[in-house]
Amino acid sequence: MSDKIDPIHQSFCHDASVACLKTDSLQYFFLRKGLKGSDKEIDVFPFDLSLYRKIKIDPFSLESESLTAEQIADVSHNIDLCRDVIMFFTSCGSASGYGGHTGGAFDTVPEVVLFDAFFRARPDRFVPVFYDEAGHRVATQYLMAALDGYISPEFLRFYRKGYSSLPGHPELGLTPGIQFSSGRLGHMWGTVNGISLANPNKIVLLLGSDGSQMEGNNAEAARLAVAQNLNVKLVLDDNDVTITGHPTDYLQGFNLERTLEGHGLKTVEVVNGEDIINLYAKCRSILNTDGPAAIVCKRKMAPGVGDVEGTSNGHDAIPPKDAIPYLTARGHTKAADYLRLSTVKTKDPKSYRSAGSMDAMRKTVGKTVVDLLSEMDDEDRKSNIMLIDSDLGGSTAFNLVQKSHPEVYVQSGVMERGNFAAAAGFGMHPDKQGIFSTFAAFLEMLCSEITMARLNRSNVFCHFSHSGVDDMADNTCHFGVNNMFADNGLEDGYDTMLYFPCDVHQAEAVVRRTFPLKTDDGQKVLNRGLRFVFTTRSKTPAILGIGSGATPHYADPLYKFIPGKDEILREGTAGYVVSFGDAVYRCLDAVETLKAELGVNVGLINKPTINVADPEMMNMLAACPLVLVVEPLGRKTGLGSRFGTWLLEADSRRDGTVTTMPKFDRIATHREGCGGLWEQAYHQGYDSASIQKKLKHMLK
């Protein structure tokens, strides 16, 4: 491959300071080393990207009303090559355990190839960027960057791997050749409107999908585009597949073309996305129409990919078991052989002290909610419980409710704001409860709805999985680090409680105590208001008790979770670490290692209620020599950002009982992500070794 950069897709946002990804770099050396020689006989990327034909087609010319036979052949060749390459390197992500997404990028190749030809023929008429509101289709961006010379094709094998510079969503300034950041669905059309306003004499392309168009932001963006007659052209992949199923089944009435027409777009073309001749004609139509216009490409998910075609299995990275027969049938035996290589799924190489078996807290939350619903009277459950899904029930484990108690389950689309508001509206009645779940990153979208739910005294039980950064190959845009935003009310407002357990046993205890509106503990305790339970994407180990042969601490039948109470896991004389969530087992390893190796006795406090100060514990900590807060949330907005104030406000300081202050510091998420899974915690510095280093410095 040539070292020359093709600048065709550079925009005003191009960051030339980002180094190209080349095979003679130390970065590539260490990525390759991680394969432990398994690729020693297949060390060349199994596709020749120089075979991509950089054709030019002028869609504005009267001589280009239809494609010639030669152009059809060239376009078809490029589509086949790009789809095969995307299939290969996204399946590499599946094989390595880093995951990813194949189907969306695979689907949209025909329109990408056509617009690439348009950009090359008439760069004067376009902002030549493939803006995509579905950031998980990042394979498109990486492939185009490789074709343009920014990325050596060899790097694509390390898609989504930690420190590969190829995370699960495009990030401006991280990957060479990337011209924009995208990832949270429904956020790109508004941005593209602004790009159009800044470039009034150019056409701006937006790639979209039926799933991303469900987001409410797009309604606002559509109205602005129409009102200002912006030259924004949408090409939407309508494959009738989202993570949990088919929108035509669960969201009846939602229709892309009618929705866009209702917003005022005068030209909305519908086409079979696999019909290249007609797709080209529709592209020409919208490009020669003044103002905003759209094409809705009807096609099955992952067309032509065996049993995956038309199913939600194509949304994620297609595994080798499906990719190998596809590539073999296409004649790419070398690519198929590579996917057959023995690859050990990635995992954290460290062993942790006092850590039991690994399990997923997010799954436990779903299972426990099912158990509690099953304990309710049938009529009570049906009348007073409503759970609404935002297409992520499989990830938050609330799809278990759908299977066990479909009478309380509402399967909805990618519409977090409206869905949360619906849950809150249901829960306005004092005897009813709405249930809501999604990823923690999307909590930031709900701040206003949460405020109104509080003012309406709504009862909502929320599960936000994928909190923090651990296991987040989707990277920075999907970090759930601003969870404290949920506690955005006033001190005399309706209750808002935020819980972040540390293992599956505590997760069950938290849900059992905080889910029912009335608990059956003899005290008739009420769980009114908004309750948020946070869990990680990753599995976490069970926290063990003290000593050899110790059992899981939170599995003890005598353990009772008490909202607002902090819990001492290890007593200390030199000070305390305060932590929660997946940081707890890392902190436990750190304090036990320091005690075993250096004789330093630092204690550990688990703080599962993260937004409320425990007065008794604050008084104790105010008198300690040292306090270190370690958390997976953001340094700017997390627990550590308020904990120092709580220490100053401790009753023992106010009444003069304690006149000194402990040494105080905090470790939290503070950097944009490095990609990968377990690598993220190390990158943010809340791994055990980094915690030990910080404590040693504080103990000097």
Q: Is residue 13 assigned to a domain?
A: no
Kindly state the percentage of the chain with pLDDT values over 70.
Answer: 98
pLDDT of residue 589: 98
User: Pick from 605, 635, 609, 634: which is nearest to 621 by CA?
Assistant: 605
pLDDT of residue 492: 84
Q: Is residue 614 over pLDDT 70?
A: yes
pLDDT of residue 70: 98
* Residue range of the domain that includes 81: 67-339
Q: Is residue 3 over pLDDT 80?
A: no
182-197 pLDDT, tens digit per residue, is 999 999 999 999 999 9
Q: In what order do the strands lie in the sheet with 293-298?
A: 126-132, 203-209, 232-238, 293-298, 267-272
Co-location of 260 and 330 in the same domain: yes
Report the range of poorest mean pLDDT among 9-23, 36-50, 329-343, 403-417: 36-50
Kindly state the percentage of the chain with pLDDT values over 90.
Answer: 93
Q: Is residue 1 assigned to a domain?
A: no
Q: What is the mean pLDDT of the chain?
A: 96
Residues ≥6 apart with Cβ < 8 Å to 528? 430, 457, 459, 494, 495, 517
Report the range of poorest mean pLDDT among 75-89, 201-215, 490-504, 662-676: 490-504
Q: Is residue 411 assigned to a domain?
A: yes
Tell me the HSE value of 243 on the side-chain side, using a 13 A CA sphere. Answer: 21
Q: Is residue 5 assigned to a domain?
A: no
Co-location of 502 and 635 in the same domain: no
Number of H helices, E strands in the chain: 25, 18
pLDDT band at 252 (very low <50, low <70, confident <90, very high): very high
Q: Is residue 51 assigned to a domain?
A: no
Co-location of 322 and 261 in the same domain: yes
Domain boundary among 339, 366, 392: 339
499-551 pLDDT, tens digit per residue, is 999 999 999 999 999 999 876 665 666 799 999 999 999 999 999 999 888 99
Record the tokens describing residue 673, joined without a space.
């992500």
Co-location of 165 and 303 in the same domain: yes
User: In sequence order, which ranges of 44-198 are alpha helices (DSSP H)?
Assistant: 69-96, 103-107, 109-121, 139-147, 188-198
Q: Provide mean pLDDT across the span 33-46.
A: 81
Co-location of 382 and 526 in the same domain: yes
User: In sequence order, which ranges of 166-255 are alpha helices (DSSP H)?
Assistant: 188-198, 217-227, 247-250
Domain boundary among 279, 311, 339: 339
pLDDT band at 38 (very low <50, low <70, confident <90, very high): confident
pLDDT of residue 27: 97
CATH of the domain at 638: 3.40.50.920
How many angstroms separate the CA atoms of 37 and 26, rounded? 16
User: Pick from 676, 325, 263, 678: which is nearest to 476 by CA?
Assistant: 676
Q: Is residue 559 assigned to a domain?
A: no
Q: Tokens 């250096």 identify what position?
A: 598
Co-location of 151 and 300 in the same domain: yes
DSSP 8-state assignment for residue 391: S
Q: Is residue 283 assigned to a domain?
A: yes
DSSP 8-state assignment for residue 155: G
How many angstroms separate the CA atoms of 426 and 435, rounded? 9
DSSP 8-state assignment for residue 125: T
Co-location of 491 and 570 in the same domain: no
Co-location of 79 and 171 in the same domain: yes
Q: Provide mean pLDDT across the span 97-117.
A: 97
Co-location of 259 and 393 in the same domain: no
Helix (H) or strand (E) holding 569: strand 567-570
Q: Is residue 2 over pLDDT 70?
A: no
pLDDT of residue 1: 44
Q: Provide mean pLDDT across the span 444-461.
A: 97
**Residue 695 vs residues 568, 597, 618: alpha-carbon distances, Å:** 18, 14, 20
Number of domains observed in the structure of the chain: 3
Q: Is residue 6 assigned to a domain?
A: no
pLDDT of residue 523: 60
Co-location of 332 and 376 in the same domain: no
Exposed/middle/buried for residue 683 (C-beta within 10 Å: 0-12, 13-18, 19+): buried
CATH of the domain at 398: 3.40.50.970
Co-location of 529 and 616 in the same domain: no
Co-location of 147 and 271 in the same domain: yes
Q: Provide mean pLDDT across the span 16-27.
A: 96
- In the chain, what's the furthest Cα-to-Cα distance? 88
Integer-rounded Cα radius of gyration of the chain: 27
